[in-house]
Amino acid sequence: MAIVVVGGHSRSVGKTSVVAGLIAALPEFDWTAFKITQYGHGICSQNGESCHCATDDHSWAISEEKDRAGDSDTSRFLAAGAARAWWVRTEQGRLAEALPTIRRKLAESENAILESNSILKFVKPDLYLTVLDPATADFKRSAQEFLDRADAVVLHDTNGEQVWSGVSLKPVVTRPTFHMRPPDYVTGDLVNFVRNSLEVHDHRGH
């Protein structure tokens, strides 16, 4: 089994679009997809408002997506061709509590692709891609923490514009970089890189 993790430095930089694009471009991998959302106490991590992201016990929850209409992020994974899709919600800093269940779901998967940065604290993927948008100022601490573990960078083409402050990209300066312009988040070169990387992994039998 191969495990791919797609992270990014902020919300709304295209992580979900990259995951969905890779699922669609690499159907032979029969992906199980995971989206991991961490939120504050009773607060949605997406918009700062109280909402259904908060589980009843404010610890963690996991649910399987069944809707293939593409209306939610996990639904987009199914619409792109994923065999199964799971949405993991945890309170900030309590992802470890969901790990036994996540590992069980991973063990049941042919191959898995996860949208998350924080999962890297607990899982060593075969491939970690980080999505960076120099025009989006926010840079999560988790993204900085794991930047040096990125195998490749998916970089928004912003014609040289960069609004980050105090962020060094030295950890990834030698990594392969795949430029993209929305709505095309996944290029042929990126697809070939992922396929070839996972074929090497499979050949080695790890």
Per-residue model confidence as pLDDT tens digits over 38-78: 886 555 544 445 655 555 555 788 999 998 988 899 999 99
Tell me the domains of the chain and their CATH numbers.
3-204 (3.40.50)
Provide the pLDDT for residue 46: 42
Beta strands in 123-185 (DSSP E): 127-132, 152-156, 177-180
Give residue-wise pLDDT tens across range 84-131.
999 999 888 889 999 999 999 999 999 999 999 999 999 999 999 999
Which of 99, 104, 149 lies closest to 124, judged by CA? Answer: 149
Does the pLDDT of residue 29 top 80, yes or no?
Answer: yes
Provide the pLDDT for residue 141: 86
Q: Residue 80 belongs to what H/E stretch?
A: helix 73-80
Whether this prediction's pTM lies above 0.85 is answered by yes
SS3 63: strand
